[in-house]
Structure 1
Amino acid sequence: MSAYGSDRSERFDCDVLVIGGGIVGLSTAYAISRAAPGTRVVVLEKERGPARHQTGRNSGVIHSGIYYRPGSLKARYAVRGAAEMVKFCAEYGLPYEVTGKLIVATERTELPRLHALVQRGRENGIPVRELGPAQISEYEPRVRGLAAIHVGTTGVCDYKAVAAQLAEASRADIRYGAEVTAVDRRPWGVAVRTATGAVVRGRVLVNCAGLHCDRVARLAGDEPGMRIVPFRGEYYELARPELVRGLVYPVPDPAFPFLGVHLTRGIDGGVHVGPNAVPALGREGYGWSSVHPRELAGTLAWPGAWRIARRHWRYGAGELRRSVSKRAFTEAVRRLLPAVTEADLRRAPAGVRAQAVLRDGTLVDDFLIREATRTVHVLNAPSPAATASLPIGREVARRALAHLG
């Protein structure tokens, strides 16, 4: 018999209470329904629908896992998740396409990093083909480079549609417009109050709040040891999408978690160009005019934010320059696609990356999941979290169910 006695159904509204209706929270609910049918799950989402922030504001890429350190959660979950995401989309009739992508070196200084990516891809079990300039043109006639690699397992899909399907298939009680304002955690479970005054009681709490995950952790009485420092990803749309057949990326700088300005042909046939990564002035700061003073003050009060700025100011200056100058942004694109002009680039909606930063200024590189009493916190799940959402959801679900006992 449960330790909570025969009145369990009266004492609790659910077994697992999930905060956050993005793709990770919904994947967790979906995984619980598969692993433990009959487990009652409530998902609280502050917006009026699912996937309104990180999930619904990215370029829709199904990442291969080539960038990530062998053995890391990102590497394991991205490789596994890419195959599972394709299977999920096929099973539910959601739009997707396995396009492959090029990673292109345009300068000789990038060649060692490109070769390192080849080795990393092979260590992660990813099929990689090395290309010379003539072979680049076979895949992308308008793209120019000294060398490239082709990664065949990369694809694109519609993550908003995936999130909506996860919500339906999970059969969870998903409550929209339910912003969490207080958490009362006790040895027996948790009670959460929303902005409307409603109280929801669960036996286990799962924090998948994304841009607000550190705040929710502190509401629960846990010090996460990190803060979310938001970075805005600024995109353009290509007015001449015929210039690009698929996905084209530069060689990334391993010192940063960003992949550089790239070109992505989405599932709708349009081509997104970006993102340019700049500090956001709020957790949901999707433009320079979106200023949230209290959140900005919280970011500036975190020592790690200042240490990032001191350590990477040169890189940041370049990003800021491309943010305020369309000409500078165009120059960055022309390194890969010389035919692009300023007139070819049209502003597109921006996204915000929830980047976990430690007190010493370290950018958390891997997914970060921590546990406390009857609680599981997902504290760092930026890209490729959408790609990896199904295995991440299973891992979070496993931990949550273990707390049920």
Structure 2
Amino acid sequence: MEEVRAGLVRSTVYDCDVLVIGGGIVGLSTAYAITRAAPGTRVTVLEKEPGPARHQTGRNSGVIHSGVYYRPGSLKARYAVRGAAEMVKFCAEYGIDHAVTGKLIVATDRAELPRLHALVQRGRENGIPVRELSGAQIQEYEPEVRGLAAIHVGTTGICDYVAVARQLARASGAEIRYGAEVHRVDRRPGLGVAVRTRTGDVLRARVLVNCGGLHCDRIARLTGDDPGMRIVPFRGEYYELARPKLVRGLVYPVPDPAFPFLGVHLTRGIDGGVHVGPNAVPALAREGYGWGVVRPRELGATLAWPGSWRIARRHWRYGAGELRRSLSRSAFTTAVRRLLPAVTEDDLVAAPAGVRAQAVLADGTLVDDFLIKEGAHAVHVLNAPSPAATASLPIGREVARRALAMLADQAPPGRPAPRRAG
């Protein structure tokens, strides 16, 4: 039997060694890392959209996060701190617009002061330079911002993540297939995977890497793996500041540690405009960028997941506030004025929304860290929300390491495993 299986492995014709599903920044970073680590490895990327970075990567505020928020020792902390420095270097190397601006995290209520101090400690544990500011010192950085106290984080920056994704695609040397939505995955022991797209194309690969973002849990189930979670989509709605001169750089509230969201903040982007937001409301579709986008099958699957109802019961007060700010520009303005008193309702101009692919466990736990799991011939990236763009280069290397290890384990007799550089 083993001789028959070995014969099948040798006779199987593979279109590539590694097939990456998802042309966002994590998928493209993985392709880039594989070809850098193991030159000669054949990599193909499937992306259902007509171009890269059309969802989470291209619909955020473009911040290079410092890592100040994340639990020391977590993947988020390690990868964000390392990734921020690497992202600045990558942008400089390829001439991509970026700037290291620093940011303020501002406490506007006495109840927030202990949490602000905890962030100072956490930042120092993560090796991040943090300066504590009194209320009066806030105006040195942001004359229009008011608060009781703040911290300044000097390593935060901004960049053009869509340009980064495009450069990763070019520099990887991988074959990128756009308009290639995955319809079916067939996996057989010892024979790798075969993926059929909606257009009927079939690609065979030794290893599959799932970087499907908003659809990663569905893709994991297509391979036959149980991801143990579901993606519950949360829409983040943004405004653009009509008077961008009110804000010099990046201004954030003190986050609530019970939630993986950072709250409504002000971000001067690489284009000079100032984004205000996002809030976080349930989306009615995986790609539900507005209240009018409803996909009953996707919504039904979200409602059928027990974790969705447990989130609702546990956090309904928080959710009600977010919903109110979504439906009322006046309520949204009130939230912004806690940081920026000079802002008026007329200053807020509607801007494109984003959707966060939030992994939720059956017990209602919001997965707070990056989540990567393995199956037979498959690596699944199952939770990669912010700061995934910042951390995309080290995340890509970790996923690439796992994929290349699988490739080496299944190299058939007489065929050398891919040679890793260095």
Matches within 5 A, 1:4-403: 11-187=13-189, 188-403=191-406
Structure 2: how far apart are the matches of 1:9 and 1:140?
66
The alpha-carbon deviation at position 28 of structure 1 amounts to: 0.1
Question: What letter corresponds to residue 175 of structure 2 in structure 1?
Answer: D
Structure 1: how far apart are the matches of 2:6 and 2:208?
17
Question: What letter corresponds to residue 303 of structure 2 in structure 1?
Answer: L
Secondary structure in structure 2 of the residue aligned to 1:11 = coil
Structure 2: how far apart are the matches of 1:163 and 1:114?
34
Secondary structure in structure 1 of the residue aligned to 2:136 = helix
Structure 2: how far apart are the matches of 1:352 and 1:133?
34
Question: What letter corresponds to residue 228 of structure 2 in structure 1?
Answer: G
Structure 2: 5+ residue stretches without partners: 409-422
Flag the 1:41–1:143 CA change in 2: closer, same or farther, 3 A.
Answer: same
The alpha-carbon deviation at position 134 of structure 1 amounts to: 1.5
| Cα deviation digits, residues 47-85 of structure 1 (max 9, x gap) | 000000000000000000000000000000000000000
Flag the 1:269–1:8 CA change in 2: closer, same or farther, 3 A.
Answer: farther
| Cα deviation digits, residues 277-327 of structure 1 (max 9, x gap) | 100000000000000110000000000000000000000000000000000
Question: What letter corresponds to residue 390 of structure 1 in structure 2?
Answer: L
Structure 1: how far apart are the matches of 2:295 and 2:250?
34
Structure 2: how far apart are the matches of 1:196 and 1:115?
54
Flag the 1:401–1:4 CA change in 2: closer, same or farther, 3 A.
Answer: farther
Secondary structure in structure 1 of the residue aligned to 2:28 = helix
Question: What letter corresponds to residue 56 of structure 1 in structure 2?
Answer: G
Structure 2: how far apart are the matches of 1:361 and 1:208?
23
Structure 2: how far apart are the matches of 1:273 and 1:78?
23
Q: Which TM-score applies when normalising by structure 2? A: 0.94
Structure 2: how far apart are the matches of 1:386 and 1:96?
14
Structure 2: how far apart are the matches of 1:324 and 1:224?
34
Q: Which TM-score applies when normalising by structure 1? A: 0.98
Question: What letter corresponds to residue 78 of structure 2 in structure 1?
Answer: R
Structure 2: how far apart are the matches of 1:373 and 1:173?
23
Structure 2: how far apart are the matches of 1:10 and 1:59?
45
Question: What letter corresponds to residue 208 of structure 2 in structure 1?
Answer: L
Question: What letter corresponds to residue 281 of structure 2 in structure 1?
Answer: V
Structure 1: how far apart are the matches of 2:298 and 2:6?
39
The alpha-carbon deviation at position 236 of structure 1 amounts to: 0.2
The alpha-carbon deviation at position 10 of structure 1 amounts to: 6.3
Structure 1: how far apart are the matches of 2:86 and 2:205?
30
Secondary structure in structure 1 of the residue aligned to 2:240 = strand
The alpha-carbon deviation at position 7 of structure 1 amounts to: 8.6
Partner of 2:415: none
The alpha-carbon deviation at position 42 of structure 1 amounts to: 0.4
The alpha-carbon deviation at position 8 of structure 1 amounts to: 5.8
Secondary structure in structure 2 of the residue aligned to 1:359 = coil
Question: What letter corresponds to residue 114 of structure 2 in structure 1?
Answer: P
Secondary structure in structure 2 of the residue aligned to 1:134 = coil
User: When the two structures are aligned, how many residues end up with a matched partner?
Assistant: 403
The alpha-carbon deviation at position 203 of structure 1 amounts to: 0.2
Question: What letter corresponds to residue 159 of structure 1 in structure 2?
Answer: Y
Structure 1: how far apart are the matches of 2:25 and 2:7?
34
RMSD: 1.2
Secondary structure in structure 2 of the residue aligned to 1:57 = coil
The alpha-carbon deviation at position 152 of structure 1 amounts to: 0.2
Secondary structure in structure 1 of the residue aligned to 2:278 = strand
Structure 1: 5+ residue stretches without partners: none
Q: Which segments of structure 1 move beyond 4 Å, counting only runs of 4 or more?
A: 3-10
The alpha-carbon deviation at position 5 of structure 1 amounts to: 7.2
User: Sequence identity, in percent?
Assistant: 85
Secondary structure in structure 2 of the residue aligned to 1:69 = coil
| Cα deviation digits, residues 184-232 of structure 1 (max 9, x gap) | 0112200000000000000000000000000000000011110000000
Structure 2: how far apart are the matches of 1:158 and 1:14?
30
Structure 2: how far apart are the matches of 1:91 and 1:9?
43
Question: What letter corresponds to residue 361 of structure 2 in structure 1?
Answer: L
